[in-house]
C-alpha cells in the first residue's frame, strides 16, 4: 500500500510529465503575404491544449502541404506556466507567371501564358488564368481557361472550386484507322465542386463536382451536351519537403454523365498510386502506377488518353489503359538543379486485355528556386520504342503541386 501511495505522489508531483504540459501561446514569425489565422487553422493544437511533439510534427506537415512555405522552423520554449510554440516561416512568392512551350518532332509547337495566384487574400485561395495555342500545324487549335479554389472556406473543412474553359481544334474523323474527313470542334466547359477533408491531418479527402461540357462540330458529327458528375477519393500520406517529396498518395476517381440531361451515356473510372521514397540527402525514388477505363457507351468517340509520353496519339488512346513508371530524382547542383531519368511502360487498348506494350524512356531536368515556387523551369524529353514512337519534348515553367 505504501508503494502504491508513493508512486501516486510521484506522478502527482511530476504532473507536467505525466499529464502533459499545456500550451500557453503560439507565435508565428516571418509572415508577409499569409494571414496568421491561416497558419493557426492548419495547426492541430491551440492554446490550452496539452503539448505533443507528434501534433507539432503533423502541423508542420499540414503547413508544408499548402505549398505556400519553403521553410518552417518550429521552436518550443518551456516555461513554468506553460509552453510557447514559435513557428518561424519563410513564404514562397504567391503570384507567378507561367510561360508555356511544347515542341513536337514534326516542327509544330504550343506556346502560351498562364498566371497563378496561390495565396489569394492571404488565405490560401487560388486563382489561375491562361491561354495556349498550337503553331505550325494543320490542326490549328487554341484554348483559354480560368480556375479558382477557395481553400477551407466552408466550416474550415471544405474547399469550393470551379472554373471555365473554351477551346477550338481541328480534328480528323477516323473510322477503322482511315481518315474519312475533318471538322472543327469547339468546346465550352464549366466546373463547380467541393473538396472535403475528412480529418484534420488532411489524409482522407473526398471531392464531388459537376462539369457540363458543350461540344459544337462544324460538320460530320452532331453537337453534344454532356453533364458529368465527378466523384473522387484520395488517401494522401505524402509530405512536401520543399526540395523533394516523400510518401504515398492513392486516388480513385469516377466521372459519369448524368442521365436524362446528357446526350451520351459515357464516363470514365481511374485509379492511380504514387510513392516517393527518400534515399540520401535529397534523392528520391518515385514509383507510380495507374489504370483507367471508359464507362458507358459513346460509340467510337470519347476515347481515353494513357499518360504514356513518347508516342503518337493513335497509340495511346483507347477505351482502357494501364501504366507504370519508375524514376530517380537526383540533385545535379545542390538545391538548384535536379535530373530525373524515367521510364514509363503501359498500353492503351480497346477490350479488357492489353494487346501491346509501350515503353518510353525519358528524362526531366528541373531548375529550382524554392523561394518563388517548386519547379521553376522544367525540360522534358521522351522517345517511345517501336511502332508509333515519337520524340516529344517540352520546355515550360511548371510546379509540382
Model pLDDT for residues 350-375, shown as the tens digit of each residue: 887 888 899 999 999 988 877 775 56
The sign of the torsion formed by the CA atoms of 306, 312, 317, 322 equals negative
Global confidence as pTM: 0.84
For residue 345, the model assigns a pLDDT of 96
Which residues of the chain register pLDDT less than 50?
Answer: 4-5, 7-19, 400-401
| Grid-cell match 493513335, residue found | 314
What pLDDT is recorded for position 140?
74
Please report the pLDDT score of residue 13 as a whole number. 44
Which stretches does DSSP call E strand in 136-264?
142-154, 158-175, 178-197, 204-217, 224-236, 239-240, 245-257
**pLDDT on residue 298:** 67
Q: Which of 103, 30, 99, 37 is nearest to 69 (CA)?
A: 30
| Continuous segment of H or E residues that includes residue 11 | helix 2-13
Percent of the chain's residues with pLDDT above 70: 88
Query: Which pLDDT score is estimated for 246?
Result: 95
Q: Which domains does the chain have, with CATH numbers?
A: 2-91 (3.10.20.310), 95-396 (2.40.160.50)
Strand partners, 126: 149
Residue 297 CB: number of other CB atoms within 10 A?
9
Per-residue model confidence (pLDDT) at position 18: 36
384 half-sphere exposure, CB direction, 13 A CA radius: 21
Tell me how far apart the alpha carbons of residues 110 and 104 are, in angstroms, rounded to a whole number.
9
Alpha helices in 36-114 (DSSP H): 36-42, 53-64
Give pLDDT tens digits for 13-22. 444 443 468 9
Model confidence pLDDT, tens digit, residues 278-322 = 998 889 999 999 999 999 876 666 789 999 998 888 888 889 999
Best CA proximity match to 167, nearest among 193, 137, 144: 144
Amino acid at each position: 500500500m505504501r508503494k502504491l501511495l508513493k508512486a501516486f505522489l510521484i506522478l502527482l508531483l511530476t504532473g507536467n510529465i505525466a499529464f502533459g504540459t499545456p500550451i500557453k501561446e503560439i507565435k508565428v514569425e516571418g509572415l508577409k503575404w499569409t494571414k496568421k489565422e491561416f497558419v493557426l487553422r492548419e495547426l492541430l493544437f491551440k492554446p490550452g491544449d496539452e503539448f505533443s511533439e507528434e501534433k507539432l510534427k503533423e502541423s508542420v506537415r499540414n503547413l508544408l502541404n499548402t505549398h505556400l512555405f519553403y521553410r518552417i522552423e518550429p521552436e518550443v520554449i518551456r516555461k513554468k506556466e506553460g509552453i510557447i510554440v514559435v513557428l518561424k516561416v519563410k513564404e514562397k512568392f504567391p503570384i507567378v507567371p507561367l510561360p508555356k512551350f511544347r515542341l513536337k518532332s514534326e516542327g509544330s509547337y504550343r506556346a502560351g501564358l498562364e498566371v497563378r495566384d496561390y495565396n489569394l487574400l492571404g488565405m490560401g485561395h487560388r486563382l489561375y488564368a491562361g491561354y495556349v495555342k498550337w503553331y505550325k500545324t494543320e490542326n490549328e487549335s487554341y484554348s483559354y481557361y480560368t480556375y479558382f479554389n477557395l481553400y477551407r472556406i466552408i466550416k474550415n473543412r471544405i474547399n469550393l472550386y470551379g472554373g471555365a474553359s473554351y477551346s477550338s481544334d481541328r480534328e480528323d474523323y477516323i473510322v477503322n484507322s482511315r481518315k474519312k474527313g475533318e471538322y472543327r470542334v469547339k468546346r465550352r466547359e464549366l466546373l463547380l465542386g467541393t473538396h472535403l477533408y475528412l480529418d484534420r491531418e488532411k489524409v482522407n479527402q473526398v471531392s464531388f463536382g459537376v462539369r457540363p461540357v458543350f461540344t459544337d462540330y462544324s460538320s460530320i458529327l452532331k453537337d453534344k451536351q454532356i453533364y458529368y458528375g465527378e466523384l473522387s477519393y484520395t488517401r494522401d500520406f505524402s509530405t512536401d519537403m520543399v526540395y523533394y517529396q516523400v510518401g504515398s498518395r492513392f486516388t480513385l476517381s469516377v466521372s459519369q454523365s448524368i442521365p436524362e440531361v446528357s446526350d451520351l451515356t459515357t464516363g470514365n473510372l481511374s485509379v492511380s498510386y504514387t510513392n516517393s521514397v527518400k534515399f540520401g540527402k535529397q534523392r528520391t525514388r518515385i514509383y507510380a502506377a495507374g489504370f483507367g477505363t471508359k464507362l458507358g457507351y459513346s460509340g467510337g468517340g470519347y476515347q481515353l488518353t494513357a499518360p504514356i509520353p513518347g508516342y503518337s496519339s493513335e497509340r495511346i488512346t483507347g477505351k482502357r489503359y494501364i501504366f507504370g513508371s519508375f524514376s530517380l530524382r537526383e540533385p545535379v547542383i545542390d538545391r538548384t538543379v535536379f535530373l530525373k531519368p524515367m521510364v514509363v511502360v503501359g498500353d492503351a487498348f480497346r477490350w479488357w486485355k492489353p494487346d501491346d506494350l509501350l515503353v518510353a524512356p525519358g528524362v526531366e531536368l528541373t531548375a529550382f528556386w524554392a523561394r518563388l515556387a517548386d519547379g521553376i523551369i522544367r525540360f522534358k524529353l521522351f522517345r517511345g520504342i517501336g511502332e508509333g514512337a515519337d520524340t516529344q519534348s517540352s520546355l515550360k515553367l511548371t510546379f509540382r503541386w
